[in-house]
Amino acid sequence: MSTVLLCMEAVPHMRRVGGGRIINITSISAKQPIAGLMLSNALRPAVTGFSKTLANELARDGILVNCVAPGYTRTERVVELAEATAAREGVTAESVEKRTVQNIPLGRMAEPSELADLIVYLASDRGCYVTGTTIPVDGGYLRDCCKGRLGAIQAAAKLPGEPEEHGDVRDRKPDGGINDCDAPRHGDTYPISEAIEEKQVQREDHAQDPEHRPPPR
């Protein structure tokens, strides 16, 4: 929730000044689950979906929203995970790191400064046409070259006259109808940006209410 709460505080200010940048740091686990990191594998994709939705809704306000997904980067956290794995398997931390690096086409871990370089670019004027995307900084670790094939298959399987949002034939009932649980609901189409704006108004009203004002010192 920290990402959502931070955006709720930042977006109204960015709108007042005419734009801004939101750059969320996620992980390669947002695109490819990492063994042993259940929480990261579950939460990072949620941040990615939230960021993409926010990017679409805030683009007209000049607010760009992107995610940066670092791979194995030489940080204290990565060293800690390597040491924990080594202790569990009865091997050295160096051997665990070597095994990890073997799966990275560039043959090494990233340095924190290499991740920072991309973030600086996205935050600068030179990144003014990049929004709604997640960029890996992983040395080629991810194996998602076939991304998009499922969408093409589903589009080819779409029945004539079927709504685009129900292109997956697995969502179709035997009688040809659409499963109720898969139909869009009001909550699914409610703009996040409007919810943020409403929350800000509620806070301002709350602050102006005499009953909730702090007593004078």
pLDDT at 214 over 50: yes
| Bridge partners, residue 178, by sequence | 172
pTM of the full structure: 0.66
Q: How many CB atoms lie within 10 A of CB 68?
A: 19
Q: What is the pLDDT of residues 146-173, one digit of tens each?
A: 554 444 445 445 555 555 544 444 444 4
- The average pLDDT across 21-50 equals 85
Contact between residue 138 and residue 107 where contact means Cβ atoms under 8 Å apart: no
- Residue entry with tokens 């995970």: 81
Contact between residue 160 and residue 126 where contact means Cβ atoms under 8 Å apart: no
The span from the first CA to the last CA of the chain, in angstroms, equals 34
Residue, of 161 and 32, whose pLDDT is higher = 32
Residues contacting residue 139 through CB under 8 Å, at least 6 positions apart? 71, 72, 104, 105, 106, 107, 108, 109, 110
Residue spans of the domains in the chain: they are 74-109
Contact between residue 40 and residue 34 where contact means Cβ atoms under 8 Å apart: yes
Report which secondary-structure segment, H or E, holds 121: helix 112-123
pLDDT band at 201 (very low <50, low <70, confident <90, very high): confident
- The average pLDDT across 124-151 equals 82
Q: Rounded CA gap, 99 and 156, in Å?
A: 41
Check residue 204 and give its pLDDT.
Answer: 72
pLDDT at 139 over 80: yes
Contact between residue 46 and residue 67 where contact means Cβ atoms under 8 Å apart: no
